[in-house]
Amino acid sequence: MENQNSDFTTGSIPAKLVKFMVPIFGALVLQAMYGAVDLLVVGWFGTTAGISAVSTGSNIINLVVFTITGLTMGITVLISRYLGEKKEERIGRVLGGVICFFLVLSVVLMILLLIFSRQLAVLMQAPKEAVELTSLYVKICGGGIVFVVGYNVISSVFRGLGNSRLPLIFVAIACVANIIGDLVLIAGFGLNVAGAAIATIFAQAVSVVLSLVIIRKQKLPFTMKKEDICFNPEVKRFLRLGAPIALQEFLTNISFLALCAFINRLGLEASSGYGVANKIVSFVMLVPSSLMQSMASFVGQNVGAGKEKRARHAMLCGMAIGAGVGIFIAVFAFLKGDLLASLFTKDKAVIVQAAAYLKGFAPEAVVTSVLFSFMGYYNGHEKTIFVMAQGLAQTFMVRLPMSYFMSVRPGATLTMIGWAAPAATIFGIIINFAYYQRFRRRIWDSEKI
């Protein structure tokens, strides 16, 4: 590992932040492509019901994936904190506990998804033409969930070490494998939704196996012994950091499942249109998401090194970078949503519905960069309970009620439903700014003592 890349406590903040952020952004681009390719190939070589099934099934699987990602954020923050405090000897114990915990969790998740796949499809109010296909997608992905969990755990460890290059390599491997799998199984063998799910799990498995091979050749700043692999006290610490983020992700994605269910009631075309729009949204959110992940590691190291002022400057720098890029993305999504949707399907009705949702959602590209910079800053300070609380407040006080209200209005459109996302984010920014004023004063007071 290159030490000059992992030390965020010295040097130019914008340069180091961007340098660390770019590989994370690249990894997220590939990860978004990874999910989008399934829908794209099904849209071109499968059926409209298949588009709805992949969309609904992906939302269910994403509930699991983003919850896991929230838990692994605790690993990233803890490792970056130990690096900043020069306590590298504790990292091996962290990883030993991580291995045990996530193996057990993977088995539990696999059993639940295999048993309740059809009930989940029905609960999501999947259109009747897509219920069995949705169930099949969830069942196949559930059977291989251990590889999905493994990828996220490995990536979180290296982000904590300040190495964002290897996670980019891992997801690039998965993306290539998924594209090949989709083309062979869906376009070649006509397996439709089943082909998409099999390709997804196959790609994750290839990525995890090859990443383990790559890791063995890396010079790492810590050692791990066999006796470290147990449920040790470090498990409790990374769970204390990650659990609030995971709970926030879980409940937020529950709200997205509810939104998907609201839209599914509007019919197959609206359901499929929202599914296409959702894949485009995953690209729109790349800059804010890479900012938040970068910020947690950057701030974590500086807080551990006692450089609070540098941590604050990093947050403000992230906001400026993200919002600047977000303006261009928002304008393009608003004006050319139909062009973007046409990449995924030839169905004109589905394209119209997808573009309609993007018109309402577009401002989110700007405001989310501000919100996620705040969140990364607080995660780096281990204030994950506040991050959870503010996330739940915006989700259940604004996004979900507004989405439901818009969906049941006479003449409801996906544009109206799309407005709920930026409205909730603006509400979240207000909460975060108010907390920041209080939090900053508390830090100033502690520095004076």
The pLDDT value recorded for residue 4 is: 40
pLDDT at 447: 54
Dihedral through CA 199, CA 203, CA 204, CA 207, nearest 10?
A: 180
HSE value, Cβ hemisphere, 13 Å, CA-based, for 246: 16
Which of 4-13, 65-74, 278-287, 417-426 has the least mean pLDDT? Answer: 4-13
7 inside domain: no
Q: What is the distance between the alpha carbons of residues 11 and 17, in angstroms, rounded to a whole number?
A: 10
For residue range 298-339, list pLDDT tens digits in order: 888 888 888 888 988 999 999 999 999 999 999 999 999 999
- The tokens of 72 are what? 């692994």
Q: How far apart are the C-alpha atoms of 70 and 30, rounded to whole Å?
A: 19
pLDDT (0 to 100) of residue 6: 61
Q: Is the dihedral of CA 73, 200, 142, 275 positive or negative?
A: positive
Please check whether residue 448 lies inside any domain of the structure.
no
Residue 4 within a domain: no
Q: Rounded to whole angstroms, how far apart are CA atoms 199 and 58?
A: 13
Q: How many CA atoms lie within 13 A of 156 on its CB side?
A: 28
Residue 3 resides in a domain: no
Q: Summarize pLDDT for 70-82 with one digit per residue, the tens.
A: 899 889 888 888 8
Query: Over 50: is that where the pLDDT of 153 sits?
Result: yes
Query: Residue 110: pLDDT above 80?
Result: yes
The one-letter code for the residue type at 385 is I
Q: What pLDDT shows up at residue 195?
A: 93
**DSSP for 203-227?**
HHHHHHHHHHHHHTTS--SS---GG
Mean pLDDT of the chain: 87
pLDDT, tens digit, 9 for 90 and up, residues 416-427: 999 999 999 999
- Within 13 Å, how many C-alpha atoms sit on residue 52's CB side? 28
pLDDT more than 70, % of the chain = 97
Residue 35 lies inside a defined structural domain of this protein: yes
Q: What total number of domains does the chain contain?
A: 1
- Which DSSP string corresponds to 371-404? HHHHHHHHHHTT-HHHHHHHHHHHIIIIIHHHHH
Spacing of C-alpha 78 from chain mean position? 19
* C-alpha–C-alpha distance, residues 62 and 70, integer Å: 12
Q: Please report the pLDDT score of residue 5 as a whole number.
A: 44
| Residue in the structure block whose two tokens are 């504790």 | 90
Give CA–CA dist 372/369, Å, rounded.
Answer: 5
Proportion of the chain above pLDDT 90, given as a percent: 37
- Is residue 2 pLDDT above 60, yes or no? no
Going by pLDDT thresholds of 50, 70 and 90, the confidence category of residue 446 is low
Q: What is the pLDDT of residue 445?
A: 55
Asked if the model's pLDDT at residue 235 lies above 70, the reply is: yes
Residues of the domain holding 143? 12-442
Residue 318 and residue 370: Cα distance in Å, rounded?
8
**How far from 103 is each of 96, 110, 126, CA to CA, in Å?**
11, 11, 31
Residue given tokens 């048993």 in the structure block: 115
216 domain-assigned: yes
Q: Residue 3's pLDDT is what?
A: 42
Domain contains 447: no
* More confident of the two residues 160 and 4: 160
> pTM of the entire structure?
0.70
* H/E element, 201: helix 192-215
Residue 301 lies in a domain: yes
